[in-house]
Structure 1
Amino acid sequence: MESIGELARRTGTSRRMLRHWEAEGLLEPAGVDPRTGRRHYAASQAGRVRAIAGLRALGFGLDAIADLLDQGLSESRLVELLRRREAELVDRVAADTAALATVRERLRSMEASRSTIASTFALSSLAAVELQGVVETVEDETEIPDAVGRLLAVLGADAAAPDRDVVLGFDGTTHERTIVVAAALVGAAPPAATRTISFPSAERAAVVRLGERPGSTADAWIALDAELEVNELRATGPYRQTLHPDGSVTLAVAVNGIVDPADD
């Protein structure tokens, strides 16, 4: 007979795992000392331990393993379960491959945006602008892309290839828990549903122009905020984004220094 520690060492598993498998009904000790509660195992039980560990390594759940071992590990039953597991893993690999491609593309887009923003970053003033457009209020930044899509649909504008400048505004300064999203076409006859939208002036604003539309505009704004921090500036909002017909994008936001001279 072997102690639980001896069985664990001989099979390359852990005492904790052997106790867990016992609690799940997969591995019963050959005997338990009534005085000390110490478990003892027959030497032959190492085979069951290795079988459980091997099936777990293949990704089988404990219920499936119990079913396999209780019914006997026949070739047909094992092949059936392995085929099923194979199909699950193929699906997972395909999903993970697609997710990896998306992550890599987002990283590429962020790196490109960060490089462009760092090289084209400039401070300038922004003139006030009044345009005819549409507005929607959202509760957080994750809702902005869908809101922009709805607003552009009202305006009849194609975000991917607009035939004129499209100005978007994002203002989270008016209400603590909401963001006002605005969209307007420059130089176009407005639909009946539009209203006058005022984009305020700013004496000092960070302005960058990206040569192509980023994969994620949110990531581009994050990159711009990072560049502001490098330059010891902070955005005071609202954010202004212009989509140009040539595919480029201008990002602009009013800024102040992180240390305000008035506080000195």
Structure 2
Amino acid sequence: MLSIGEIAHRTGVSRRMLRHWEQQGLIEPARTDPATGYRRYEPTQVGRVNAVATLRDSGFGLEDIRVLLDPALGRGGLESVLRAQERDLVQQIDEATVRLTRVRHRLDTLETRAREVAMNITRQSLPSLSLRGLQASVRDETDIPAAVTQLRERLGGDIEGAAALALVFDGTDDDQITVTVGFAHSGETAEGTRDAIVAPITIAGVEDGVSVHFVERPSDVSDAWVVIDSHLETVGLHSYGVYRQLVAADGAVTLQAGVRPLPPDCASPGA
């Protein structure tokens, strides 16, 4: 007879999994020593272990495997289990196809953005911004989109149509990111905006920075910044400090940030 270790070695199934399948009633030792608890298996049981492992790898659940290995299983029961598995696999394929399409779209977008950035990036000083708007603090970059949405809802009114909209993200504090949403201050308040809640906000200028203009808003601004930073690395620079996203009335977007040289040990070989 074979020990559980020998069965595990012959089938490639771990002892832990064999014990689990035993608990589920899929594998039953031919004999268990009452004194030691050691399990012993007939050599013919290797085939059943392999069958369970194969069905598990094919995506069948343990309950379905129990049905499939039942000697009394008729055609109706077999078809029922296989049809259910077919539906599950089709659903998985459909979901995977959707995810694959998204990944491919994102890859295509990154390539397009890389060409846009190379053509439209400008190194320049960034002027200070005089805004009227609102601010909020978040703890992580993933919280920024929700904060922007909430601030824009609080501002109300047609702020995009009235003036250039500015989204500013200040992550210079290790403990928080300050999110600013506002419109260029021209002495007048955008129609419909709740003037009582907005405040004048000044964003300091930057002596050395970069500006990248996009005719249309990038579908994923964070990806656009990844491309910008990748381009900057090729010339020995990196972005830092306060990041700006300026949205014009026609929907064009300009991304801006300060830049400084990469540390010597981080510089790109081609820089």
TM-score after normalising by structure 1: 0.79
* Inter-CA distance 38–178: structure 2 relative to 1 (3 Å threshold): closer
Residue 91 of structure 1 is matched in structure 2 by 91
Match for residue 42 of structure 2?
41
CA distance in 2, matches of 1:157, 1:107: 36
The equivalent of 1:202 in structure 2 is 206
Instruction: Quote the residue 1:133 is aligned against.
Output: 133
Partners of 1:133 and 1:197 within 8 A in 2: yes
Q: CA deviation at 1:62?
A: 2.8
Aligned-residue offset at 1:18:
8.2
* Distance change in 2, residues 1:126/1:7 (3 Å): closer
Equivalent residues of 2:5, 2:15 under 8 A apart: no
TM-score by length of 2: 0.77
How far apart are residue 57 of structure 1 and its match?
A: 3.6
Ranges in structure 2 where 5+ consecutive residues have no aligned partner: 265-271
CA RMSD of aligned residues (A): 3.4
Structure 1 residue 203 displacement after superposition: 1.1
How many equivalent pairs are there?
A: 253
C-alpha change, 1:135 and 1:7, in structure 2 (3 Å) is: closer
Deviations 1:164-223 (A, max 9, x none): 4211110011x3211111111235614321101111111111111122211111111222
Quote the sequence identity (%): 36
- Counterpart for residue 176 of structure 2: 178
Whether 1:75 aligns to 2:72 is no
- Pairing of 1:77-226 with structure 2 (within 5 A): 77-156=77-156, 162=161, 164-173=163-172, 175-186=173-184, 187=186, 189-190=189-190, 191=193, 192=195, 193-226=197-230
Which segment drifts farther, 139-148 or 112-121? 112-121
Structure 1: 5+ residue stretches without partners: none
Secondary structure at the aligned position of 2:13 is classed as helix
Q: What do residues 21-76 of structure 1 show as CA deviations (whole Å, max 9, x unaligned)?
A: 46522334556899xx7955355x46534542442243112343234435733222
SS in 2 for 1:24: helix
SS in 1 for 2:69: helix
